[in-house]
Chains A and B, each alone.
Chain A
Amino acid sequence: MTTASKILCIVERAGPGLDDTAWELLGAARALVGDGGRVGAALLGEGVGDLASELARGYDDVWAFDDARLASWDGEAYARAVAPLVAREQPALILAAHTNLGIDFAPGLSVRAGVPLLPDCLALEHADGGTFEAVRAIYGGKVHARYACTPSEQGVMATLRAGAFAAAEPGAAASGEIHTESLADDVGQGRRPVRTVEPEAGEVDITQASILVGVGRGIEDEENLEIVQSLAEALGGEVACSRPVVDKGWLPKSRQVGTSGVTVKPKVYVAVGISGSFQHVGGIKGSPFLVAINKDARAPIFGVADVGVVDDLFDVVPALEEKIREAKG
């Protein structure tokens, strides 16, 4: 087995700081880089000097692109900005997070860089003959797949699922080298930011709820929502949901938990008829006590839940509501 001599991680910001995935990419890279190899971070944004110093506590090199054109999340600008850096530094492996931003820039960058792409990896390792092997979740997470990837002459790119790789701890001293990068002329062409849209405030703020009953596709029909509303009432909690329920217009977006919805930190989360896509689970923080009720024993939600019931939610949910009301007197 070989090891990569140079790895480039394209890190993401979150609010004024770094996204957790910035350190997860480093953790993954450290496990794959060879002795004496270097792990670099590409950091894009406006006024990112402090973040560059923070990254230098873990990364060997930090390539900082500091420009107003990079102030907002813009996958097109990211791909155009990073492509020349890739061409110059020739990393054997490019890593990014499989987030909404990663989905926006990674496929285009992989084509520009002339490298094959392994998207949304749960695991990534070196295999025989200079190849890489990745584990991915397919068919909505019901099946896992191992893929082999032969790098091109230019290398290979992989995007990593948030939370799937252990984060590396930054050191005390910012010992990495910080390099100031200039932007290619075509950055900002073709696509321009207009405005950011804040989520509409709902009548209930589920981010503040300590008990949430989340409902998903398994509820089948709008009128069936009544049983989860009754369960939430019995528990003294609020109703939340996964994406399909919002897509159908049954509940407002302000109740959607997930990476494209609301991030919640309840003490208890009861997932009813929710399969447990990574986009949904990614919005549940703070390690709540997670109960899953789903008739499909293969639903990925059972992989992350504390307690599961594999049964028809239309039997279990009313029974649970009744027992809770009895227990509460």
Chain B
Amino acid sequence: MDIVVCIKRVPDVAEADVEIDRSGLRIDDSDLSWGMNEWDTFAVEEALRLKEEQGGTVTALTVGGEDDEEVLRRALAMGADQAFHLQDDAFSASDALGVARVLAAAIRKRPYDLVLTGAVSGDTGSAGLGGMLAGLLEVPQVALATRTSYADGKLEVQHEVEGGLERVVELDLPAVVTIQTGINEPRYVSIRGIRKVASVEIPVEGAGDLSLDAAALAPQVTLKELFLPPTGEGAEILEGSADDVAEKLVEKLRERGGI
């Protein structure tokens, strides 16, 4: 099975203080560490797991600038067979659909049975790439997968639906599947593992290579401003030492029937 996995480099904001820079359009990322989008690490692992079971290839793709090559190298270190860096100034202003068009054009250039990507990205959190890719490639898709297995030309996928339920569906291939966290345990990549792939050449493909014109890349969705979430209607913040706030909390809990 030939699997394409679409990945993205994002800043890790889980434990970080996020500030907006002076442009008002970007966060100040000088103190943030960057890496592969968490969901995408599970997508790469799932692709490798299926390949190890079924044979075939795993190809990693990302759309982005120079620095973003890092995540492709990580995918190679995890075990991907090849990687392509979709890089062009013409891609830099693209919206989510534009990025999906770039990826779809790159996917169409090669034989594929399955496209995997993280269900969500930790930066813009749109959760839209997989569905858009499937729409552009005109293949079936399923979102939020928590298990995949392959037999007899069909992929069985368990995924999250509403109300805490999960459903198992059967997909004809080729197809697109978006991967949830927790589906597997992404393999650890050592520094030595990264070094081993340091000299692997990662081909760059631009708008010309992908036959994409300006109209396909013109954004319809543009960012106007970033701002910090309003805090006015939020929680009453208790101040003081740990013992002080604990005492105040006990009073509050007593009032509300918690004690």
Contacts and interface: CB of A to CB of B under 8 A. Distances in A.
Interface stretch (B45-53, B68-76, B161-169): B161-169
B243 to A, nearest CB: 5
A250 to B, nearest CB: 11
Contact of A306 (B100, B132, B142, B236): B236
B141 interface: yes
Contact of A308 (B97, B227, B236): B236
Give the dominant DSSP class at A's interface.
mixed
B143 A104 contact: yes
28 contacts: A14-B162, A74-B169, A99-B162, A104-B161, A107-B128, A110-B128, A118-B221, A138-B226, A139-B123, A149-B222, A190-B172, A191-B171, A283-B164, A289-B253, A289-B256, A289-B258, A291-B249, A292-B235, A298-B17, A298-B18, A302-B231, A303-B234, A306-B236, A308-B235, A309-B245, A320-B250, A322-B246, A323-B246
A307 B165 CA distance: 32
Given A98-B127, A290-B235, 19 more contacts: A12-B162, A100-B143, A103-B128, A107-B127, A117-B126, A120-B127, A139-B122, A141-B229, A146-B226, A147-B223, A189-B172, A262-B164, A291-B252, A296-B15, A308-B236, A319-B243, A320-B245, A322-B246, A323-B249
B247 A192 contact: no
A305 interface: yes
A100 B144 contact: yes
Given A106-B128, A319-B242, A149 B221 contact: yes
Nearest to B134: A108
A143 B140 contact: no
Contacts of B82: none
B166 A140 contact: no
B33 to A, nearest CB: 14
B257 A267 contact: yes
Interface in A154-199: 189-199
Nearest to A195: B168
Interface string A295-327: 011101011111111111001101110111001
A104 B116 CA distance: 14
A268 interface: yes
Nearest to B227: A144
Nearest to B161: A73
Contact of B14 (A140, A262, A302, A311): A140
B254 interface: yes
A173 B230 CA distance: 39
Interface string B119-163: 100111111111110111001111110000000000010111111
Given A149-B221, A323-B243, A104 B256 contact: no
B191 interface: no
Given A108-B141, A315-B242, A307 B235 contact: yes
Given A298-B18, A303-B229, A116 B161 contact: no
B27 interface: yes
Contacts of B139: 190
B136 A327 contact: no
A144 B168 contact: no
A139 B18 contact: yes
Interface residues of A, number: 104
B259 interface: yes
Contact of A305 (B123, B235, B259): B235
A296 B229 CA distance: 14
Interface size class for chain B? 35 or more
Given A119-B128, A152-B220, A305-B235, A146 B257 contact: no
Interface stretch (A24-32, A39-47, A240-248): A240-248
B140 A191 contact: yes
* B225, B254, B259 pick with most chain A CB within 10 angstroms: B259
B214 interface: no
B224 interface: yes
A182 to B, nearest CB: 21
A110 B125 CA distance: 17
Interface string A66-101: 000000111110010000000000000000001111
Interface of A: 12, 14-15, 19, 72-76, 79, 98-101, 103-112, 116-120, 133, 136-152, 189-199, 211, 217-218, 235, 243-244, 246-247, 259-263, 267-268, 275, 283, 289-292, 296-298, 300, 302-312, 315-316, 318-320, 322-324, 327-328
Contacts of A19: 162
A181 B242 CA distance: 61
Interface in B91-124: 95-97, 100, 119, 122-124
B160 A100 contact: yes
A108 B164 contact: no
Contact of A147 (B15, B129, B224): B224
B228 A198 contact: no
Contact of A263 (B159, B164, B221): B164
A160 to B, nearest CB: 14
B170 A194 contact: yes
Given A243-B181, A298-B17, A319-B243, A117 B128 contact: yes
B204 interface: no
